[in-house]
């Protein structure tokens, strides 16, 4: 769902100056959340936008939203004052946090032509996945704020509902995906996401149909040693995810928020010729993770 800000709301938000944020461990502090919420609540028309955002992410049939903040970005630039507003919107959904202690709250995802093309900062196809798939408590929401789109015109975001994809698979295939036989990635120096989950099932057999995390990353098909039966089941799911995908080209200021219990995400390849684009002009996203309020969050 795409959520536009009215001109009146944009004008009102431009008059607000939110304070710098503070962290309590890995999480945005309770005092910052309260300050940001108070600042937004005083803005005319904000409740309608926040309600639409929450419904798009957690309401029936929802799971992702693109909050279009481009007007604010053009008026304010994309420095700290703008990021505080984006953080305030995120805090209306869940608790912002950083699982990476060596990175700031918002993590840069730039473009590195010499990196593995399938990685988030690579230039190739970034297959469907959930972030931190191998954590016992993955982030409930992953978010991407577009600072610059690919100047060559590539790299649209892709999204797909894994529960709908699973429903198209046979009972036998779903049973294989329910076995704890999958693994992917490393797990080191992470905060706020529990322990390493290895191996893990793609489908939690204890969850109600259509609910819970679908622990999937298509990257494990190429980068993990899986048994023949388990690889075949995962490949079937990957094909169904592509079949049901939607795509969206993020523009500067667009803020994509994905409910990881309902949607998986990825990115199509960037256009060729990235090595000829100056680094300061290449596609740039900022990533922020959110923890549902029912889980761990700061107490003060």
Report the pLDDT value the prediction gives residue 81, as an integer from 0 to 100.
96
Residue 12 in this model has a pLDDT that exceeds 90: yes
CATH 3.60.130.10 for domain 2-291, yes or no, is yes
pLDDT band (50, 70, 90) for residue 115: confident
Place 211 in a pLDDT band, splitting at 50, 70 and 90: confident
What is the average pLDDT across 131-136? 96
> Looking at per-residue confidence, does 24 or 118 come out higher?
24
Residue 299 has pLDDT above 70, yes or no: no
Give the pLDDT of residue 45: 87
What ranges do the domains of the chain cover? Answer: 2-291
pLDDT for position 118: 87
Task: Inform me whether the pLDDT recorded for 295 exceeds 60.
Answer: no
pTM of the model: 0.94
pLDDT category at 189 given cuts 50, 70, 90 is confident
Q: Kindly report, residue by residue over 219-267, the tens digit of the pLDDT.
A: 999 888 899 999 999 999 999 999 999 999 999 999 999 999 999 999 9
Quote the strand ranges of the chain, DSSP E.
2-4, 23-24, 27-28, 64-68, 95-97, 107-109, 126-129, 141-148, 157-160, 246-248, 254-259, 264-267, 284-291
Percent of the chain with pLDDT over 90: 85
Long-range contacts (CB closer than 8 Å, 24 or more residues apart) made by 201-209: 201/177, 202/177, 202/178, 202/233, 202/234, 202/237, 203/166, 203/174, 203/177, 203/178, 204/178, 205/178, 209/163, 209/167
Q: Which helix (H) or strand (E) holds 238?
A: helix 228-243
- Range name among 81-90, 150-159, 185-194 with the lowest pLDDT average: 185-194
Is residue 157 scored above 60 in pLDDT?
A: yes
Structure confidence at residue 300 (pLDDT): 40
What does the mean pLDDT of the chain come to? 93
pLDDT in tens, 282-292: 999 999 999 99
pLDDT of 234 reads 97
- Residue 119: the pLDDT is 86
pLDDT at 298: 45
pLDDT of 66: 98
Tell whether the model's pLDDT for residue 294 goes beyond 70: no
Query: Sorting pLDDT into bands at 50, 70 and 90, what band is 107?
Result: very high
pLDDT at 206 exceeding the cut of 80 = no
Q: pLDDT per residue over 19-73, tens digit each?
A: 999 999 999 999 999 999 999 998 888 999 999 999 999 999 999 999 999 999 9
Q: Is 27 exposed, middle or buried (0-12, 13-18, 19+ CB in 10 A)?
A: buried
């Amino acid at each position: 769902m795409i959520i536009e800000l009215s001109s009146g709301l944009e004008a009102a938000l431009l008059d607000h100056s939110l304070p710098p944020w503070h962290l309590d461990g890995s999480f945005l502090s309770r005092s910052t959340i309260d300050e940001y919420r108070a600042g937004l609540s005083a803005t005319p028309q904000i409740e309608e936008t926040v309600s639409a955002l929450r419904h798009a992410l957690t309401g029936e049939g929802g799971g992702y939203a693109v909050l279009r903040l481009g007007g604010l970005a053009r008026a304010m630039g994309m420095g700290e004052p703008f990021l505080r507003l984006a953080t305030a919107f995120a805090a209306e959904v869940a608790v912002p946090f950083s699982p990476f202690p060596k990175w700031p709250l918002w993590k840069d995802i730039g473009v590195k032509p010499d990196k593995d093309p399938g990685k988030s900062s690579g230039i190739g196809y970034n297959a469907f996945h959930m972030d931190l798939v191998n954590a016992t408590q993955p982030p409930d929401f992953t978010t991407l704020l577009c600072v610059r789109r690919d100047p060559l015109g590539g790299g649209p975001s892709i999204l797909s509902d894994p529960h709908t994809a699973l429903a198209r698979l046979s009972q036998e295939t779903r049973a294989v995906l329910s076995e704890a036989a999958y693994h992917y990635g490393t797990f080191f120096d992470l905060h706020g996401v529990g322990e390493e989950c290895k191996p893990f099932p793609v489908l939690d057999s204890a969850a109600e149909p259509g609910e819970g995390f679908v622990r999937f990353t298509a990257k494990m098909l190429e980068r993990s040693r899986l048994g023949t039966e388990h690889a075949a089941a995962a490949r079937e799911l990957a094909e169904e995810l592509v079949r049901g995908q939607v795509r969206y080209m993020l523009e500067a200021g667009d803020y994509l928020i994905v409910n990881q219990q309902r949607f998986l995400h990825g990115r199509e390849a960037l256009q060729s010729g990235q090595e000829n684009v100056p680094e300061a002009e290449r596609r740039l996203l900022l990533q922020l993770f959110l923890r549902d309020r029912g889980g761990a969050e700061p107490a003060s």
